[in-house]
Amino acid sequence: MAEILVDCRGETCPVPLVETRKAIRQAQPGDIIVVVGTHPASREEIPMAVRALGLELLSVEGTETDWTIRIRR
């Protein structure tokens, strides 16, 4: 199982969401995708996308403007 890091710090809408989606597409089932970012709305929206895609949201940590989201493909 690989761990894939998506660094979206400093990026704004819709880049964090899009980069997360690209990483999910490239990941193998079971891989962990770790997204770090600073865009407040994406902290809420990436989990929405994860649920819509039927994947597992492992954790959402940090503040609105400095967060880490972990996803299992």
Helices (H) and strands (E) in the chain, counts: 2, 4
Stretch that binds other proteins, among 7-15, 29-37, 64-72 (CB under 8 A): 7-15
How far is residue 25 CA from its own chain's centroid?
12
Stretch that binds other proteins, among 4-12, 29-37, 62-70 (CB under 8 A): 4-12
If binding is defined by CB under 8 A, does position 1 make contact with other proteins? Answer: no
Choose among 47, 69, 49, 67: nearest CA to 59. Answer: 69
Question: Residues 2, 7, 13, 64: which binds other proteins (CB under 8 A)?
Answer: 13
> Among 5, 44, 48, 64, which residue interacts with other proteins (rule: CB under 8 A)?
48
